[in-house]
Chain A
Amino acid sequence: MDTAVAEEETPQAPATEAFEPTIVAFVCNWCTYTAADLAGTSRLVQRPNVRLVRMMCTGMVDPKYVIKALLGGADAVLISGCHPGDCHYINGNYKARRRVKLLNDILDQFGIDRRRLKLTWVGASEGNEFAETVNDLIEEIRELGPIETRDMMVL
């Protein structure tokens, strides 16, 4: 691609083109995991950037899972569960929302961009939505560049 050429000519420019974001996605068993599965069986093109972690519910995603993923070099974390009102465990998704709000407030104080942690609701039948969410996030993070932790020796 032409930007790759430009990159050779101006080596100080960020190597965004070569950068492939790694995204850790915590998805709930009942909704988003099923949607991801559907996206797969529907043969929608899915890029290999995402590492899916199936949880029973987004309500059980402790903040430490997110922190560990980001410190471990994940460029972004996606948490995705059932739409409001649809949670298999009634309200786990609302609990997840408070935790994401909390983590956003903490992490951006240390220079971790808010866009690196995303919460979405994707229902079991929404394979298209899931593919779209993931692709949008990949694009967004590609522009943002790699996370600082990738190059840090002391964590």
Chain B
Amino acid sequence: MATTAKVDVPGSDPVLGVQEFLKLLLRQGEIGGVFVQTHLNPHGMPMPTLITDPERLDRADPLAPAFPMNAARMAARLTHGRSGDRVAAVLRPCEIRAFVELVKLNQGSMDEILLIGFDCLGAYSNRNYPRYIGGDDPMSLTSGFLGKTGGSEDTAQSDYDIAEACQSCENLEPLGADIGIGLVGMDLGDHFVVTAHTPQGEAVLSRLGLADVEDPSARRAAMDALVEKRTAYRNAMFERTHEATSTLAGLSEFFARCVNCYNCRAACPVCYCKECVFLTDVFDHKPWQYLGWARHKGMLKMPTDTLFFHLTRLAHMSTSCVGCGQCSNACPNDIPVMELFRTVGARTQAGFDYVPGRSFDEPPPLSVFKADEFPEVAGAD
């Protein structure tokens, strides 16, 4: 399988090439709408947008180094129930993985969606993207960010770089997508490639009448180099984070600036509860309780339950953490939440031999069990 076709880039701008590809899908009636990150203001943040009119795709900019939110949640909403037409969702690899997790949790569906992914070169944080665009039209900056050969090595600005999550992301290939847009190692002023990864993607691509090409080895080599670089960055990040939190005192220090706003949870695509227990009456403590707890040790930090919240969240969802970094992005106090969740997630995921977003055939580990497993925890008898 895995048909790979070539998409020509008009005006030496790959952003236009992606727009043309999406317009083609819409005009040929393959899809009824496109869900894609789009500039809705002259300078602001591009936001996930559902577009049905091909003309409106002119401000679509999925490859921009902006990642305001993990759109998997929105994609889940778009597919939870019937719309009557197929929508193409252009998502980052970590958004696709989160979407797959949500589908497995019955919060979204693959029935009416065509997943379009792309080689993800990362994004600046919500704080730094506005600095990156300055007073310019953001559309004009995206191709520069991608670099001439898609895999730009110079994402670093004078005093900031792409988000930590992106720098430490080794899963930048859109493997779970129906169709993947290949950018890395391409001559982006001329063309990029689209590859079908599923039968649905195969069927759609074959009807578009694009010229087939072999997946060029240049992409493989450039991708491998990028993955290697990011993996090394990730490993150093794991080590640093583990060292800082190897005791509870260290963990307490790690979250010293936490104000229990729960933004990290709200931003997390795989914190799956409709209502988080930490926002329920269970945590609506009474004055006499506070005083009682304070008397116990002579003092009580307020708000209470900070480590309780983070440890519980780790227990609830770290097996599904896709490393998107939106928790860190959303934290008002710059706590490196992603670092901790990825570090612990790597461990809990390995414990169940589970890779979030990898396959629909792998149920979330805490939703299943076997009669004979983990004898070191409690024996078969």
Point out residues on A near B: beta carbons under 8 Å.
63-64, 67-68, 71, 83-85, 91, 94-95, 97-107, 109-112, 119-121, 148-149, 152-155
Contacts and interface: CB of A to CB of B under 8 A. Distances in A.
A95 B379 CA distance: 14
A78 to B, nearest CB: 11
Interface string B87-108: 0000000000000000000000
B286 interface: no
- Top 10 A-B pairs, shortest CB-CB distance: A63-B315, A94-B369, A111-B247, A119-B378, A64-B312, A105-B351, A67-B311, A101-B374, A101-B377, A148-B248
In terms of DSSP, what is the predominant structure of the interface of chain A? helix
Nearest to B312: A64
A102 B307 CA distance: 17
Given A148-B247, A152-B252, A98 B369 contact: yes
Interface string B336-378: 0000000110011001100000000000011001110110011
A120 B378 CA distance: 6
A68 B308 contact: yes
Contacts of B374: 97-98, 101
Contacts of A109: 242, 245-246, 343-344, 347
Interface string B163-189: 000000000000000000000000000
A153 B302 CA distance: 11
Given A68-B308, A94-B371, A102-B315, A111 B377 contact: no
A85 to B, nearest CB: 8
A100 B247 contact: no
A110 B297 contact: no
A11 B229 CA distance: 52
Contacts, number: 109
A111 B299 CA distance: 24
Contacts of A95: 366, 369
Contacts of B250: 110-111
Given A98-B369, A153-B301, A119 B315 contact: no
A152 B248 contact: yes
6 contacts: A71-B308, A105-B347, A110-B311, A155-B252, A155-B305, A155-B308
Given A97-B378, A99-B366, A119-B377, A67 B315 contact: yes
Contacts of A106: 311, 314-315, 318, 344, 347-348
Contacts of B381: 83-84, 121
A85 B372 CA distance: 11
B279 interface: no
